[in-house]
Amino acid sequence: MTNPLPDLGDLEREVMHLVWSRGPVTAEEVRERLPRKLKESTVRTVLKRLEDKGYVSHTVEGRTYRYAAAEARRRVAAKAVQRIVDWFCNGSVEEVLVGMVDAEMLDQGQLKALADKIAKAKAGRK
């Protein structure tokens, strides 16, 4: 989990959700799908900031930029969780999970499913 990505603002997060769900998109496509009405230049600025932060990359088709996620949503989420684990729990994932159980964010069934996924992932690495 090296190279932590910078934090995202609310609008940047909305745009990233569109990029992750739709695949490569243009600024106009993002503008059309956002719940709030923005100018295309504003959307292009947000996409440029996301590119500067390492969240998206672009290709050029004619004169049109198409933006795609530079990293999968799951990987970005894992990096964010790692930061939380480091900041609040001194790097202890166990402490985070116990806290989630104590706060009733995870029930026994979810914990079992998580344990099964972890075991499967470990087996796949061997």
| pLDDT for residue 2 | 54
Tell me which amino acid residue 109 is.
G
Contact between 66 and 47 (Cβ < 8 Å): no
Number of domains in the chain: 2
- CA angle 123-124-126, nearest 5°? 70
Point out the residues of the chain with pLDDT beneath 70. 1-4, 126
Q: Are residues 62 and 79 in the same domain?
A: no
Q: Mark whether 64 and 87 lie in a shared domain.
A: no
* pLDDT at residue 70, rounded to an integer: 96
pLDDT given for residue 4 in this prediction: 67
Domain ranges, residue 84:
73-125
The reply to whether 59 and 80 lie within a common domain is: no
Tell me, yes or no, whether 43 lies in a domain.
yes
Assess if residue 2 is contained within a domain.
Answer: no
Q: Kindly state whether residues 59 and 104 are assigned to the same domain.
A: no
State the Rg of the chain over Cα.
Answer: 18
pLDDT digits (tens, 9 = 90+) for 21-53: 998 999 999 999 999 999 999 999 999 999 999
Torsion, Cα 55 59 62 64, to 10 degrees, reads -10
pTM: 0.74
